[in-house]
Amino acid sequence: MSGHGTPIPMTSRRAGPLSGVAEVPGDKSISHRSLILGAMAIGETHISGLLEGEDVLDTAKAMRAFGAEVTDHGNGEWTVVGVGVGGFAEPDQVIDCGNSGTGVRLIMGAAATQPISVTYTGDASLNKRPMARVTDPLALFGTTTLGRSGGRLPMTLKGSSDPVPVRYEVPVPSAQVKSAVLLAGLNVPGKTVVIEKEATRDHSERMLAGFGAEITVEDTEEGRVITLTGQPELKPQVIAVPRDPSSAAFPVCAALVTPGSDVLVPGIGLNPTRAGLFATLRDMGADLTYENEREEGGEPVADLRAKFSPNMQGIEVPPERAASMIDEYPILSVVASYAKGTTMMAGVKELRVKESDRIDAMARGLRANGITVDEGDDWWSVEGLGPDGVPGGATCESFLDHRIAMSFLILGMGAQKPVSIDDGSPIATSFPIFERLMADLGAQLIRANI
Ligand SMILES: O=C(O)C1=C[C@@H](OP(=O)(O)O)[C@@H](O)[C@H](O)C1
Ligand SMILES: C=C(OP(=O)(O)O)C(=O)O
């Protein structure tokens, strides 16, 4: 879908302690990949715990447009009957990925090395985001791109009938770019090699191996070298999607800043390429513990227990941790506002090209609520005011960005005055049950501005 319809103004105010169990939805990254790889397999893939957020539903729709049979059986149970590697039909409609960078970039990769023409678009946020980072490596396979200048959507990609494998060093730390090149390599004979200097989330590598592709990963002086052998027959899988650590971040951080809180967030994937926020919060002195640590589907999983933490200190977040918590900096900046001292976040240039410029969006809203924020091109810092010190009282713009919207609502939960956002509708892209889940914990959220 393009756009989010009518804006939903929202306000959150300080409430009693948050308590209870917060069952957050399935992982967004793994949900997209389950649908796309399911569509490229031969046979029926079963998915349970699929995130039914707008981003993932747009990917499901796209897979249908390429000829896969995608069925919603209710309660997060889905099946995908795939068309096989190289078997995508040319869609008779524009592929609209709504708000989702992951959706459009991964789908572009999967389709770009098949002999079809596909036109892609998105909402006002997605159509501003850089796509050359994906179309540049896809051109090396022989794919032609036609579209707006500056590498922005809408654009049309036409796959070569004779694509060649590539060796590509990803110039920015991006799992989306890495994954687009790997998915493109699936349709191509020979070995496609992707090199990343900094490790980013590795769901594509793990899931490609799970679906039966021949893929190796080596840590070398050059970086992580991933080698994929093209044109495998992918075998359908039974996938139980783990709960999303990026969604878990919101009830966890809400508990840390709301006096008296004690919240359990069960079954959260702690894959080291995703869990940087939780390590950072613990470094700041958060009362955050891992209970019932276990392995599920080859991934480390734990139940997270978060309690109100009045003694958190600002820290310098290690820049080498950035990729493992890239979507969590907005909510970290909220926690930093309730810590004592400065929190410095560096090596985070990628935040400027997400659904919004997330440094700018957070800096504007935090400042309006009485918090001092400093920023440069690839860093920002927040001066914490302690557990009782955040004034609040302002309305923030969410810039069509779900993580910005949710972060400011959490800011309001410990602030002296309520905090509002102009539009909570983007929350449905990744966390459609956010409002109900937070209300069940005891949060006071209303659909109106102060
Ligand atoms: O591959 C993925 O599933 C994602 C990769 C990250 O984006 P980049 O690859 O642009 O860093 C992340 O921000 C996004 O939410 C999901
Ligand atoms: C950056 C995000 O998603 P995407 O790039 O898929 O739009 C996110 O979910 O925070």
- Is position 4 within any domain? no
Amino acid at 20: G
Same-domain pairing of 303 and 438: yes
Kindly give the number of the ligand 1 atom that is closest to the alpha carbon of 177. 9
SS3 label, residue 33: helix
Residue 4: pLDDT band (50, 70, 90) is: low
Same-domain pairing of 15 and 65: no
Same-domain pairing of 157 and 231: yes
In the structure encoding, which two tokens stand for residue 430, read together? 């990744």
Nearest to 304 by CA among 353, 342, 270, 348: 270
In the structure encoding, which two tokens stand for residue 126, read together? 């997605």
Q: How far is the CA of 390 from the centre of ligand 1 (A)?
A: 31
- Is position 36 within any domain? yes
- Is position 316 within any domain? yes
Residue identified by tokens 């990925």 is 97
Nearest to 407 by CA among 338, 319, 352: 338
- Is position 290 within any domain? yes
Residue owning the nearest CA to atom 5 of ligand 2? 101
* 428 pLDDT more than 50: yes
Same-domain pairing of 225 and 118: yes
Q: Is the CB of 32 under 6 A from ligand 2?
A: no
Give me the catalytic one of 27, 327, 401, 423. Answer: 327
Residue 450: pLDDT band (50, 70, 90) is: confident
Please compute the mean of the pLDDT values over residues 358-382 and round it to a whole number: 98
In the structure encoding, which two tokens stand for residue 112, read together? 């770009």
- Is position 83 within any domain? yes
Q: How far is the CA of 101 from the centre of ligand 1 (A)?
A: 7
Residue among 102, 196, 321, 355 whose CB has most ligand 1 atoms within 8 A, to mutate: 102
Considering 240, 275, 303, which residue would you say is the last residue of a domain?
Answer: 240
- Is position 434 within any domain? yes
> What percentage of the chain exceeds 90 in pLDDT?
96
Please compute the mean of the pLDDT values over residues 179-206 and round it to a whole number: 97
Residue among 27, 28, 29 whose CB has most ligand 1 atoms within 8 A, to mutate: 29
Q: Is the CB of 430 under 6 A from ligand 2?
A: yes
Q: How far is the CA of 354 from the centre of ligand 2 (A)?
A: 6
DSSP class per residue in 409-425: HHHTTTSSB-EEES--G
Same-domain pairing of 147 and 251: no
Q: How far is the CA of 100 from the centre of ligand 1 (A)?
A: 10
The answer to whether 372 touches 343, Cβ cutoff 8 Å, is: no
Residue 15: pLDDT band (50, 70, 90) is: confident
* 2 pLDDT more than 60: no
> What percentage of the chain exceeds 70 in pLDDT?
99
DSSP class per residue in 78-93: EEEEEE-TT-PPPPSS
Same-domain pairing of 126 and 273: no
Please compute the mean of the pLDDT values over residues 43-47 and round it to a whole number: 98
Same-domain pairing of 145 and 53: yes
In a 13 Å sphere around the CA of 91, the CA atoms on its Cβ side amount to 21
Note the ligand closest to the C-alpha atom of 199. 1
Same-domain pairing of 52 and 90: yes
The answer to whether 376 touches 425, Cβ cutoff 8 Å, is: no
Total tally of structural domains belonging to the chain: 2
Which residues span the domain enclosing 95?
28-240
What value of ipTM does the predicted structure carry? Answer: 0.99
- Is position 190 within any domain? yes
User: Within 10 A of 136 (CB to CB), how many other CB atoms are there?
Assistant: 14
The answer to whether 348 touches 316, Cβ cutoff 8 Å, is: no
Residue among 51, 174, 274, 327 whose CB has most ligand 2 atoms within 8 A, to mutate: 327
DSSP label at residue 204:
H
Nearest to 445 by CA among 417, 414, 420, 415: 420
Same-domain pairing of 287 and 194: no
Mean pLDDT of the chain: 97
Please compute the mean of the pLDDT values over residues 36-60 and round it to a whole number: 98
Please compute the mean of the pLDDT values over residues 430-447 and round it to a whole number: 98
The answer to whether 411 touches 334, Cβ cutoff 8 Å, is: yes
Where does 141-174 have alpha helices with state H? Answer: none
The answer to whether 39 touches 70, Cβ cutoff 8 Å, is: yes
In the structure encoding, which two tokens stand for residue 447, read together? 């659909």
DSSP label at residue 299:
E
Q: Is the CB of 175 under 6 A from ligand 1?
A: yes
pLDDT at 327: 98
Kindly give the number of the ligand 2 atom that is closest to the alpha carbon of 32. 6
Same-domain pairing of 186 and 273: no
Note the ligand closest to the C-alpha atom of 128. 2
Q: How far is the CA of 19 from the centre of ligand 2 (A)?
A: 28
* 131 pLDDT more than 60: yes
Considering 191, 211, 240, which residue would you say is the last residue of a domain?
Answer: 240
Whether 357 is catalytic: no
Q: Is the dihedral of CA 434, 436, 440, 445 positive or negative?
A: positive
CATH number at residue 220: 3.65.10.10
Same-domain pairing of 167 and 19: no
SS3 label, residue 202: coil
Q: Is the CB of 59 under 6 A from ligand 2?
A: no
β-strands 95-96, 117-121: how paired? parallel
Same-domain pairing of 143 and 15: no
Helices 101-112 and 132-140, axial angle in degrees (round to 10): 10
Q: How far is the CA of 411 from the centre of ligand 2 (A)?
A: 21
Kindly give the number of the ligand 2 atom that is closest to the alpha carbon of 354. 1
Please compute the mean of the pLDDT values over residues 129-135 and round it to a whole number: 98
Please compute the mean of the pLDDT values over residues 347-369 and round it to a whole number: 98
- Is position 2 within any domain? no
**Following CA atoms 278, 279, 282, 286 in sequence, which dihedral angle do they give, to the nearest 10 degrees?**
-20
Considering 214, 240, 266, which residue would you say is the last residue of a domain?
Answer: 240
